[in-house]
Each structure stands twice: as C-alpha cells, then as structure tokens.
Amino acid sequence: MNSKPEADGLSFRESVDHMVDNAIEIMGLEKGMGNALKSCHSVLQVSFPVKIKGQAEIFTGWRAVHSDHRLPSKGGIRFAPYVDQDEVEALAALMTYKCAIVDVPFGGSKGGLIIDPSKYSTDEMEAITRRFTRELIDKGYMSPAKNVPAPDLGTGPREMGWMVDTYRRLFPDDINYLGSVTGKPVEHGGVRGRKEATGRGVQYALREFFRHPDEVHLANLSGTLKDKRIIIQGLGNVGYHAAHFLEIEDGARIIAIAECDGAIVNLQGLVVAEVRQYIDRTGSIKGYPNAEYLANSAEALELDCDILIPAAMEGVITNKNAPNIKARLIAEAANGPITYNADQLLQERGVQIIPDAYCNAGGVIVSYFEWVRNLAHVRFGRMERRFHEAKGRHIITAIEQATDVKLPDWLSDEISRGANEFDLVRSGLDDSMRLAFQDIIECRRTNDRIKDYRMAAYVLAIKKIARSYHDIGY
C-alpha cells in the first residue's frame, strides 16, 4: 500500500478541516456556508496503462477541484509513491485558502500521481506524464480557462513542458494554450523567477515578519534576520532557494539541514549551495565535510535554533515531537508540515508559526504572473524597459546640469536601469507577500479570539471566499 501512516490519528484533510472549523466558529459563519466552503467540489480519479519495458503498467492519479468560485482552479501536480485522494483533497483545499490570502484570483485544485520518479527513465517519465495529461484534458480537468496545473513535489519545469506540449497538440487552435500550465521552462512560455518563487516567497515572508518588532518580540526574538540560527528540513526546490537566499542575502546562519537520509549540523553556518552540489554529486547528504552527521534526520528538528523551516512534506511535526521543538518561530515552507494536534501544542508553548497557506504562496503568486503573461502574449517589461531607461538618463542629465556635480556611476546606473522581467516578478512577489502578512497581523490584532497567524490567515481567506460565494450564489 502506498499511503502514509496517519499522523496523530487524523488524516491530512481532517487536520486542515479542524483548523478551518476553528476559524469558521470564531467568525460565527452560518453553518451552511461553512460546509460549502469546506467541501471539495469534485475529484477525478484515473487509472491508465503505459507500456514500460514491453509490459503494461497501471498508474493511478487524481485531480481534485476544491473550489471554482474563481477560475481557473489552480494548483500543483505531485508525483510521489505515497500520494492518495485524501492528501490531494487536503492540498486542493489549501490552494483555495492560499489564493484567497494572497489575493490571487484563482480557485483551488491539486493533482497527484502514484509514482516513484527515480525508478523510471526520462523517456518513460515523458510517456507517463503525457498520458496522465491526456486523461486530465479528456475529463475536463485541464485548460487555460478552467484548471491550470503547476509543479509540486516530484515535478518541475520538465514535466510542465511535456504537459503544455500535450495540450498544444490536442488544441492547436487555442491561442492561449501556454496558459494551460504554469511553472514551464522559460523557453516555453515560463516566466523568469518561477522556479525560485516559493523559496523566495518564504524569504520575503520572514523579511516582512522581521519588519514588525512587536511580532518579533512575540516570538521571543529580537533584531533582524542577520545571524539568526535556522534549521531547514528538505533541500528540494523550495527548501534550497529559501535557505540559500536567507544565507547569502540576509546573513542568516543555516545551522542544520535535514534530508531523508540524515541531517548535517554546523553551528557556524553551512554554505547551502555547497551542500546542494555535494548532494547532487554524491547522491546523499552523508559524509558532507565540516559538519556533524545525524543518521536520524528527525533529530535535527529538535535542535536549539531561532527559526525552523520545514520544507519537505506534510505531517512531520506531530504531537510526538512538538513538545521537543526548540525553535521560537516556524515558517511552514511545505504544505501541512504541522498536524492539527501539534499546532495546538506549539501554540500553548508560545511558538509562533507562519502558516503554509501564506508562507509558501510564492509559487502560486508567480504562477499567476506567468498565466497573465501567457494570456497577454508579451514578456513583462518588454514595452516599458527602454522608456524608463531613457527617462532615468534625462533625470540624471537634469540633476547634473542643475548642480554642476557628476553623479557617481553606480547611482546613475541605478536611476537609469529599466526593470526586466526578473525584477518585475520579484517586485510583484514581494508586494503580495508583504501586503498579505500585514493583513494577517491586522486581523490577529483586531480580534481577541484570534491567537495565532494561522487562524488569522484562515479568517481572512474565509471572509473573502464567503463574500464571493454570497455574491454569485452557491
């Protein structure tokens, strides 16, 4: 059987539902509306054969649409050996709340395929992905207007490239075919900055947290991100980018990295890019020089630190290890890493948690930009970049003529530099993350019954979704 053991006796979906129930109760939302909000709109299950080394192998996958009050419904597709319907539905629900929190005008969806990608060749993976895509399209679960997949655990630009090509071949007349998938390679309609987006979003969430001294104080911390001791669990796409940017741009110290085959610890700080290269070269974190190795990677989560960033998968902090967690602040880069029961325990102990539905929303924010770019059929910055550069040069000339002082070259360059697509995507991501956290803080401050950021984030999301259901009828 490929499913995971239930953490704390609750399935992932039940865990998410409990958190949402609490928010619904605090808001005093009418029961019918609460139920409508929580229920998963539709789920597709497919089983299909693909010929692997001369033999037909059957693959099973799902695509759940949690909500379609806004279209398209949006969310990643994960390829993993343990994925199941409950997990896909829980993740689709999280997508609904996530989009609402960061003001991305999409419904929530998610997909999953039971597969261990490491067991198949590239050609086999392509055949399987294309076949799964055809099933999704065939059953009305993928199109630029209704349902737009993206990368998730076990998938990336490569799979998204195959998916968009499959869609294009089936609908060559659809001028918006590029908008049928996000997270594509940049050469095939992807937007610059999408690959790093979720990790970058985690960094921006933490930066925004540290801009609010009262919030920092609540977590028993002080100062800025500089020199903060951080533990990362999972050095995949999200964990790597979050850790790398926090290290090189904010001066944080990554004191431990936990992977599935062990953890490494160095209290002076690890160089994340070197660790990544080491894993790519050797296939394991074990044996990384200048660090202590822990064979049981779960131990790393319990080390003393300022910030813990679980960036791997759901259900890693349960009522068993929650009492031993020493971090003052947890930034949920993964979806659902803390179970409902663990969340209650951590809250009682005053540990502050930046919740997944906000913290890891960077991916879908930049997916939104990519989708808009695909429908607009033009690269961001293409029309205005040189115009702004020319304007900047005029300003420099005016200042220099009026003052008779030549500006330093670096300043002239900064003033006259027009923004490229990377700059604009990062700026849009930063803005979305900052505004959403400000809303979350405000919501928590203005309601005595809201004790934590997760509850505040859910209350915010539910208010927006309920308003939209109310307006359009349900």
Query: Rule CB under 6 A: which of 359-378 touch ligand GLU?
Result: 360, 363-364, 367
- Binder of ligand GLU out of 4, 74, 244, 253 (CB under 6 A): 74
End-to-end CA distance of the chain: 38
- Concerning whether 51 is annotated as a catalytic residue, the answer is no
CA distance 301 to 298: 6
Residue 447 class from Cβ within 10 Å (0-12 exposed, 13-18 middle, 19+ buried)? middle
Q: How far is the CB of 130 from ligand GLU (least distance, A)?
A: 20
Tokens in use for 193?
């900055």
Q: How far is the CB of 237 from ligand GLU (least distance, A)?
A: 10
Which CB, 156 or 418, lies closer to ligand GLU?
156
- Which residues contact residue 157 at a Cβ distance below 8 angstroms, ignoring those fewer than 6 apart? 151, 183, 184, 185, 190, 195
CA distance 458 to 474: 20
Q: Which stretch binds ligand GLU (CB under 6 A): 59-67, 257-265, 358-366, 458-466?
A: 358-366
Total residues contacting ligand GLU by CB under 6 A comes to 11
Q: Phi and psi for 296 in degrees, rounded to 5?
A: -95, 100
Q: Helix 85-101 to helix 453-472 angle, to the nearest 10 degrees? A: 90
* 335 sits near ligand GLU (criterion: CB under 6 A): yes
Q: Which stretch binds ligand GLU (CB under 6 A): 37-45, 71-79, 245-253, 295-303?
A: 71-79
- Which residues contact residue 94 at a Cβ distance below 8 angstroms, ignoring those fewer than 6 apart? 16, 108, 110, 335, 336, 356, 357
Q: How far is the CB of 414 from ligand GLU (least distance, A)?
A: 32
Q: Which of 320, 271, 335 is nearest to 93 (CA)?
A: 335
Which CB, 96 or 266, lies closer to ligand GLU?
96
Residue nearest to ligand GLU as judged by C-beta position:
76
Query: Rule CB under 6 A: which of 142-161 touch ligand GLU?
Result: 150, 152
- Binder of ligand GLU out of 34, 72, 76, 154 (CB under 6 A): 76
Tokens in use for 240?
């790597």
Q: Which of 80, 157, 49 is nearest to 334 (CA)?
A: 80
Which CB, 96 or 360, lies closer to ligand GLU?
360
Which CB, 70 or 229, lies closer to ligand GLU?
70
Query: Rule CB under 6 A: which of 5-24 touch ligand GLU?
Result: none
Query: Rule CB under 6 A: which of 448-467 touch ligand GLU?
Result: none
* 180 sits near ligand GLU (criterion: CB under 6 A): no
Q: How far is the CB of 182 from ligand GLU (least distance, A)?
A: 5
* 331 sits near ligand GLU (criterion: CB under 6 A): no
Give me the catalytic one of 4, 98, 110, 195.
110
Amino acid at 220: N
- Binder of ligand GLU out of 182, 339, 374, 412 (CB under 6 A): 182
Which CB, 72 or 262, lies closer to ligand GLU?
72
Tokens in use for 441?
């803080």
Amino acid at 360: N
- Binder of ligand GLU out of 34, 61, 72, 75 (CB under 6 A): 75
Q: Which of 115, 304, 303, 153 is nearest to 234 (CA)?
A: 153
Angle at 58 between CA 53 and CA 62, to 5 degrees: 135
Active site residues: 110
Interface residues with ligand GLU (CB under 6 A)?
Answer: 74-76, 150, 152, 182, 335, 360, 363-364, 367
